[in-house]
Amino acid sequence: MVAYILWRILLIIPTLIGILTVTFVIVQFTPGGPIENIIAQLQGMGGDAVGRVAGGSSDLGLSSDSVFDGAHADLSSYGSSKYRGVQGLDPEFIAKLERQFGFDKPPLERYLTMLGNYIRFDFGESYIQGRSVIELIKSALPVSLSFGFWNLLISYAISIPLGIRKALKEGSAFDVWTSAIIVIGYAIPNFLFGIFLMVFFAGGSFFDWFPLGHLTSDNFDKLSFEGKILDYLYHLILPLTAMVISSFATTTLLTKNCFLEEIRQQYVITARAKGLSERSILYGHIFRNAILIVIASFPTAFMGSFFSGSLLIEMLYSLNGMGLLSYTSIVNRDYAVVFACLYIFSLIGLVVSLISDIVYMLVDPRIDFDKKDL
**Non-local CB neighbours of 191 within 8 Å, separated by 6+ positions:** 242, 312, 313, 316
Taking the C-alpha atoms of residue 39 and residue 44, their distance in angstroms, rounded to an integer, is 8
C-alpha of 329 from chain center: 13
Would you state the pLDDT for residue 206?
78
The model's pLDDT over 180-224, given as tens digits with 9 standing for 90+, comes to 998 888 888 888 888 888 888 877 677 788 887 777 787 888 888
Contact present, 290 and 262 (Cβ < 8 Å): yes
Instruction: State how far the Cα of 248 lies from the Cα of 186, in Å rounded to an integer.
Output: 8
- C-alpha to C-alpha distance for 251 and 272, rounded to whole angstroms: 28
CB 159 within 8 A of CB 248: yes
For every residue of 257-269, DSSP letters joined together read HHHHHHHTSHHHH
More confident residue, 174 or 56: 174
Q: For residue 316, with 0-12 CB atoms within 10 Å meaning exposed, 13-18 middle and 19 or more buried, which class applies?
A: buried
Q: What distance in Å separates the CA atoms of residue 118 and residue 178, rounded to the nearest whole number?
A: 48
The β-bridge partners of 132 are 125
Percent of the chain at pLDDT above 90?
Answer: 7
The pLDDT of residue 23 is 81
CA separation for the pair 79, 260 (Å, rounded): 70
**Can you give the pTM of this predicted structure?**
0.71
List of residues 6+ apart from 101 with CB closer than 8 A = 34, 35, 127
> Span 310-331, mean pLDDT?
83
Query: Roughly what angle, to the nearest 10 degrees, separates helices 322-332 and 335-363?
Result: 140
Cβ–Cβ under 8 Å, residues 239 and 317: yes
- The DSSP bridge partners found for residue 208 are 202
In order of their start, the domains of the chain are 34-126 (no CATH), 134-373 (1.10.3720.10)
pLDDT at 173: 92
- For residue 9, pLDDT over 80 is answered with yes
| Cα 301 to Cα 317: distance, rounded to the nearest angstrom | 22
Residue 225: the pLDDT is 86
Between 45 and 100, residue with greater pLDDT: 100
First-to-last alpha carbon distance for the chain, in angstroms, is: 11
Task: Tell which residue, 309, 341, 317, has the closest CA to residue 328.
Answer: 341
